[in-house]
A = this chain, B = another copy of it.
Amino acid sequence: MESHAVMHYRRDNMADLLRSHDINPTHQRIEIAYALFSRQAHLSADQVMMIVNDRHAETSKATVYNTLKLFLEKGMIREVIVDPSKVFYDPNISPHHHLYEVDSGELTDIDAHQVRIEGLPELPENMETEGIDLIIRVRRKKA
């Protein structure tokens, strides 16, 4: 536990992280993974793009989108759909929910272990749950 809390994601870790998810580590993928994991933040594709190309352009738009989709398929990151205009990507894959500040767009994690959801209907036999998204939309009280 302690070791996990203390874990600092460094560029050197990224190749192993990628390999452990069956992803071939390439320059671009390492940079994109590093952008997400070193910050532990919810980033849009656009933000990832800007971070990765901060100094000199190195990674194309197509690659950013391809790579995020790949990470997603391999279960290395999660997708957060709260903003109608863009998707956010979340390097935290442990079960958790989200608190969304609608005005600022700020997203905060809520550990799923502290939350209980009861009374959900049974699913038909041929269906399976892919995920449960719980989003608390909050706003600053006006005056």
* A137-B141 in contact given A115-B117, A117-B115 (Cβ < 8 Å): no
Q: Does B129 lie within 8 Å of A138, measured CB to CB?
A: yes
Interface residues of A, Cβ cutoff 8 Å to B:
79, 81-84, 87, 99, 101-102, 110, 114-121, 123, 126-141
How many Å lie between the Cα of A129 and that of B139 in the bound state?
A: 6
- Per DSSP, chain A at the interface is strand
How many Å lie between the Cα of A79 and that of B137 in the bound state?
A: 12
Tell me which residues across on chain B come within 8 A of A115, comparing CB atoms: 117-120
Q: Does A137 lie within 8 Å of B126, measured CB to CB?
A: no
Q: Does A132 lie within 8 Å of B134, measured CB to CB?
A: yes
Contact partner of A117 (CB less than 8 A), chosen from B126, B134, B139, B140, is B134
How many Å lie between the Cα of A102 and that of B130 in the bound state?
A: 9
Q: Does B119 lie within 8 Å of A130, measured CB to CB?
A: no
Please provide the 4 A-B residue pairs with the shortest distance between their CB atoms, ordered closest to farther: A130-B137, A115-B119, A133-B135, A116-B118
* Centre residue among A84, A129, A139, A141 by max chain B CB count within 10 A: A84
Q: Does A130 lie within 8 Å of B121, measured CB to CB?
A: no
Contact partner of A121 (CB less than 8 A), chosen from B83, B110, B119, B140, is B110
